[in-house]
Amino acid sequence: MADGTRLKTIENQLAQLTETIHTQIQSQLSHLTETVTNHSASISDTSSVLQRMESLLQSLASSTITHGQSRPSQTPSHPFHTRNVKLEFPRFDGSHALEWLFRAGQFFDYYNTADPERLTIASVHFDQTVIPWYQMLQRANPFLSWQELSRAVELEFGPSEFERPRASLFKLAQTGSLDDYYLEFTSLANRSTCLTPDAFLDCFISGLQKDLQRDVIAQSPPTLVQAVAFARLFEDKFCPIPKPSMFTHPRSNYNTKSNPNTPPSKKPPLLPTPTTKPFHSPLKTKTIKNISPAEMQLRREKGLCYYCDDKFSPQHRCPNKHLMLLQLDDVDPAEIDIDPGDTSIPP
């Protein structure tokens, strides 16, 4: 009877627990459903806002295009376009005018700079005597374009227009190293116009040193680049690398003989004269004392050292100790030729 009552109590508890769990699950599911519903509403609201923004942007873009076609823009465009590589504009102090004009032109072409902005950018990067020169010309006759300014810079700071770079190129000859000759050649070639590549090739080869010119002509280079490569290759043959000289002690040119006209000095020496010893003094060699086995036994019985008359102990240091060196020659056994009929032992 008691067992049946206990079983019924357990069944009631399980039923209550099951109902409680079911209630909690239902509550959580309803909460999740409500959350999902709220998120869906928020997403739909966001989508509607984005659609309205997209339509607004399209209307603004169409209106901008319409206004741009109807009338030109009154605001000046930015002088620089976005580029991945950032370049720095070169400064100009009056030296190397042609190189500066080339670099400035490359800068303006890279950024596609408008012509009015080129004048401002160039003038900001003037230094030293170029600043008062530019101020004077700008006050008297302002520059209207980059071409006018570059021409004025070339006339003022560049090579004289009376120089004939083509004639100088034809007369150019190698007097030093090949690098110096090629640098001067390229400088004149850049200023020489209306010359064909073959003409530049002939000018370069004709200005080389005779020995170097002979070897380059023998290779018949078709281009200037190959001619320069052959010249660099053959230059090492005519200009070998000097070998390092051995270090030698300079001879003494001092005259050890005293001048007979100079009177002997009577002043006492500041330091006593040291006694001189001969440079080559004979070295004293110690003779090695060989003792017989009987003498070794006698000294061992008396407790004496083998090589001196002092008592031997572990702390004893013999003053007559010797260092013996045994040297063996490394001989390969395969190199020893032994006659099979010879029964004698090799030494």
Residue 338, C-beta contacts closer than 8 angstroms, at least 6 positions apart: 346
> How many CB atoms are closer than 10 A to CB 117?
17
Query: In 158-242, which ranges are continuous DSSP H helix?
Result: 165-171, 178-191, 197-206, 210-219, 224-238
Within a domain: residue 39?
yes
| Three-state DSSP class for residue 2 | helix
If asked whether residues 136 and 195 sit together in one domain, one would say: no
Beta bridge partners of 92: 126
Number of compact structural domains in the chain: 3
Buried b (16+ CB within 10 A) or exposed e, 277-301: eeeeeeeeeeeeeeeeeeeeeebee
Per-residue pLDDT averaged across 31-39, rounded? 87
CA-to-CA distance for 199 and 224, rounded, in angstroms?
A: 10
Within a domain: residue 274?
no
If asked whether residues 105 and 143 sit together in one domain, one would say: yes
In percent, how much of the chain has pLDDT > 70? 70
The 10s digit of each residue's pLDDT in 261-306 is 555 555 566 566 655 555 454 555 556 667 788 888 888 888 888 7
pLDDT at residue 153 greater than cutoff 50: yes
pLDDT at residue 243 greater than cutoff 60: no
> How many CB atoms are closer than 10 A to CB 18?
10
Structure tokens, 333: 């056994």
Q: How much is the pLDDT for 71?
A: 47
pTM of this prediction? Answer: 0.37
What range defines the domain where residue 106 resides? 97-157
Q: How much is the pLDDT for 247?
A: 47
If asked whether residues 190 and 149 sit together in one domain, one would say: no
Q: How much is the pLDDT for 163?
A: 65
If asked whether residues 186 and 129 sit together in one domain, one would say: no
Last residue of a domain, one of 211, 236, 261: 236
In percent, how much of the chain has pLDDT > 90? 1
Q: Could you tell me if 119 and 153 are in contact, meaning their C-beta atoms sit under 8 angstroms apart? A: no
Q: How much is the pLDDT for 297?
A: 83
CA-to-CA distance for 196 and 48, rounded, in angstroms?
A: 70
Within a domain: residue 18?
yes
Within a domain: residue 229?
yes
First to last CA, the chain: 118
